[in-house]
């Protein structure tokens, strides 16, 4: 987990093979690299990752977004914490199902 690996992943997204760069970024996030967690979490939240040459689209996934943003926030990332607060504030709870115990 290093800044160099992170920079290589971002560079791959911008000028190389974006899917490879995103996989590299996700691996760094899974290994606990805070900046990668923030980027991956935001990508899943927004459905894309913006970069200097445009956008790399990913499938929106709120659960994955929360997972990665939560891990970044636990490490003190204020941007991740802000995004989690916005998710909480803006996410309707009507799709949650509760079940009675029998």
Could you tell me the mean pLDDT of each successive run of 10 residues in the chain, 102 residues long? Answer: 84 91 96 96 94 90 95 95 88 52 48
For the chain, the structural domain boundaries read 3-90
Could you tell me the sign of the dihedral formed by the alpha carbons of 14, 19, 23, 24, in that order? Answer: negative
What are the two backbone dihedrals, phi and then psi, of residue 16, each rounded to the nearest 5 degrees? Answer: -115, -125
Give residue 92's pLDDT.
62
- The residue length of the chain stands at 102
CATH number for the domain whose boundaries are 3-90? 1.25.40
């Amino acid at each position: 987990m290093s800044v160099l690996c992170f920079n290589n992943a971002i560079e791959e997204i911008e000028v190389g093979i974006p899917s490879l760069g995103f996989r590299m970024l996700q691996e760094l996030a899974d290994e606990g690299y805070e900046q990668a967690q923030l980027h991956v979490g935001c990508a899943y939240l927004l459905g894309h990752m913006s970069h200097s040459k445009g956008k790399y689209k990913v499938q929106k996934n709120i659960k994955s977004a929360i997972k990665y943003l939560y891990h970044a926030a636990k490490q003190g990332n204020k941007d991740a914490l802000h995004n989690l607060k916005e998710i909480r504030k803006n996410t309707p709870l009507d799709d949650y199902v509760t079940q009675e115990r029998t």
